Amino acid sequence: MSKPTLDDYMRFIFTEFEQFEQNPGPYWKKGSYVKADEKSLLVFFMTMQFRRIYQFKTQHRWLVDHPQQQSQMKLQQVPGRTTLSGRYKDLYETIQAFMAFLGQRALEIDVTFDNQHLYEDKSLFKALGPVWHQKDRRAGRIPNRLRHLDIDATWSKSGYHGWVYGYGLHLTCNQAVLPLLVQVETGSLSEKHVIDAKETQIIYHFDPQTLSADNSYAQASRIRRWAKQGVVLLSPALKWRNGRYAQAYHRFIRRPYWQQVLRSRGSTIEPLFTLVAQVIGTTGRQKQLPVQGLHNVRTCLALASLSVQIAMLINSLWHLPLRSMSYIHSAFT
């Protein structure tokens, strides 16, 4: 069975990114722009990700030692360590916009990537290094023996992970598990702030029939606001049961069709976080990150999410199992 090569992945990324540059549409935030060599650096950092090389000094040395790969990635020159560090941090918003662009284009590749039903969730990733106990953190006190601490991370709790000192990866995907939108924040930032920030893109750019999410996303005003725009926000809403609006909502979501859509959330968005963890090579229940600091973590998790998206699109084009990350991993390593 034939499989895609690194050249195939690079050709796809360059072609799609060039179209994105020509028509970024509504995905860019006001005042943002595509910087020089952006697509080349995207491929380079993706290569480093799959090779588990996260130190910028080592990345610089790798480029110096691999001039053929530098030429293949269309990098005009070898950036210095400081430049690589800065460009890596700056890549986050580009990845967000490019993912949204590819999410819109996906339906042209495969009807499986239909956006009728979308899913939203947050997964916690543990910060690299020791934990900063809440008592010390609130006091702004770092114990003397606490070395290599990630001071940007915050505490958060989930039913599966328990208490985690780290960051939250917020993903929106469709029924095929294709990631569409990504946002990375410190662990303690509430899901309600993230979903409100994504609202315009979800409703107007992807135009779904439903978006399914857990209890954290259930808010009466949000549910009514989305309904007026033709989008059904589905949630178990276990903490919202009192009052006639809540009771009417629960009668509504008990209908067989909505129950079926809501139940499918567990087999879509949750496996997606496992795929992202596979890409960055993190293991364990709390999924420890390979980098520190909010700006680095944002790019790290967003790039891994983009890698999953590209892997699934290429797998579809090559008629390979959609959720397999082995082909893209093999090509980039």
SS3 assignment for 258-286: HHHHHHHHHHCHHHHHHHHHHHHCCCCCC
The predicted structure's pLDDT at residue 29? 60
Please say whether the beta carbons of 95 and 182 come within 8 A.
Answer: yes
Locus of tokens 């930032």: 189
Mean pLDDT of the chain: 93
CA-CA distance, 21 to 134, in Å (whole number)?
A: 44
Closest CA to 132 of 141, 122, 120, 119: 141
Could you tell me the pLDDT band of residue 1, with boundaries at 50, 70 and 90? low
**Rounded to two decimals, what is the model's pTM?**
0.95
Check residue 162 and give its pLDDT. Answer: 86
Is residue 49 over pLDDT 90? yes
CA distances from 260 to 32, 257, 331 (A): 40, 5, 38
pLDDT band at 64 (very low <50, low <70, confident <90, very high): very high
Mean per-residue pLDDT for 195-211?
95
In whole angstroms, how far apart are CA 262 and each of 170, 206, 213, 248, 285? 18, 19, 8, 17, 25
Residue pair 146/130 in contact by the 8 Å Cβ criterion: yes
Question: Is it the case that residue 39 has pLDDT exceeding 80?
Answer: yes
- Lowest mean pLDDT segment, chosen from 30-44, 167-181, 228-242, 295-309: 30-44
pLDDT of 147? 87
pLDDT band with cut points at 50, 70 and 90 for residue 161: confident
Question: What pLDDT shows up at residue 22?
Answer: 87
For residue 140, the model assigns a pLDDT of: 86
Q: Tell me the average pLDDT across 97-119.
A: 95
pLDDT beyond 70 at 114: yes
**What's residue 158's pLDDT?**
82
Q: Which helix (H) or strand (E) holds 64?
A: helix 56-65
Question: What Rg do the C-alpha atoms of the chain give, in angstroms?
Answer: 20
Share of the chain above pLDDT 70, in %: 96
Question: Which element (helix H / strand E) includes 51?
Answer: none
Amino acid letter for position 30 = K
Q: Are strands 117-126 and 210-212 parallel, antiparallel or unpaired?
A: parallel
Residue-level pLDDT at 30: 53
Given a cut of 70, whether residue 32 has pLDDT beyond it is: no
Least confident segment among 26-35, 126-135, 168-177, 266-275: 26-35
What is d(CA 66, CA 58) in angstroms, rounded to the nearest whole number?
12
Tens-place pLDDT, residues 120-149: 999 999 999 999 998 988 888 988 888 899
